[in-house]
């Protein structure tokens, strides 16, 4: 059974993950409008991963006989100055989510909630992967700057990203 404090924190994380979904979907729409379908595909796959993450928290709360309480989701930005600016924001967002996951782990430890701590370890590992994945794109975008052939090649490469698997998605 979840403590009231842990349940609230996990519900807040459901909303944070849903906002992540919304943010990356907005970035996908931005890239579609900029005629960068590969970048849009990458962001759409990222959005799908975030929905999987939200549902993992949703299901966990229910499995622990908790109550899921969904809150309002803030509207995300819809415009960025460049592909680099969008990915830099995505990287900062992933770092923010990593901090939230770390805070949840600290709370689980303080609450002596070993089950939740165990559950959260998957997210700790996932956030390392998430940050590295986004950072790799940021570094490549910094290398190509505004060189059109470089952006074109990256768009083609990012468009090859496939859908995430339900249990062990990567990317």
Instruction: Give 56-113 pLDDT, tens digit per residue.
Output: 999 999 999 999 999 999 999 999 999 999 999 999 999 999 999 999 999 999 999 9
Looking at residue 159, its pLDDT comes to 93
The answer for residues whose C-beta is within 8 angstroms of residue 49's C-beta and 6 or more apart is 130, 164, 169, 171
Question: What's the DSSP call for residue 99?
Answer: H
**Residue (of 146, 27, 14, 12) closest to 76 by Cα position:** 27
Nearest to 56 by CA among 8, 110, 13: 13
CA separation for the pair 79, 122 (Å, rounded): 32
**What's the confidence (pLDDT) of residue 96?**
98
- pTM, 2 dp: 0.92
Which residues lie closer than 8 Å to 105 by C-beta, 6 or more apart?
Answer: 117, 120, 121, 124
Query: Which CATH number applies to 4-73+80-158?
Result: 1.20.1260.10
Do 21 and 126 touch, CB atoms closer than 8 A? no
CA neighbor of 66 nearest in space, from 123, 11, 15, 104? 11
CA distance 146 to 142: 9
142-156 residue pLDDT tens: 999 979 999 999 999
Q: Where are the domains of the chain?
A: 4-73+80-158
Higher pLDDT, 163 or 41: 41
pLDDT tens across 80-89, in order?
999 999 999 9
């Amino acid at each position: 059974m979840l403590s009231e404090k842990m349940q609230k924190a996990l519900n807040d994380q459901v909303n944070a993950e849903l906002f992540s979904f919304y943010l990356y979907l907005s970035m996908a729409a931005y890239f579609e409008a900029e005629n960068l379908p590969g970048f849009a595909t990458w962001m759409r796959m990222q959005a799908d991963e975030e929905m999987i993450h939200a549902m993992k928290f949703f299901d966990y709360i229910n499995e622990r006989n908790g109550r899921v309480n969904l809150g309002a989701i803030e509207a995300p930005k819809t415009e960025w100055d460049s592909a680099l600016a969008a990915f830099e924001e995505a990287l900062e967002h992933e770092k923010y989510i990593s901090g939230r996951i770390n805070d949840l782990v600290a709370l689980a430890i303080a609450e002596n909630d070993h089950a939740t701590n165990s559950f959260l370890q998957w997210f700790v590992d996932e956030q390392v992967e998430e940050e590295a994945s986004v950072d790799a794109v940021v570094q490549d975008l910094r290398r190509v700057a505004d060189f059109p052939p470089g952006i074109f090649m990256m768009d083609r490469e990012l468009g090859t990203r496939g859908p995430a698997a339900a249990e062990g998605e990567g990317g």
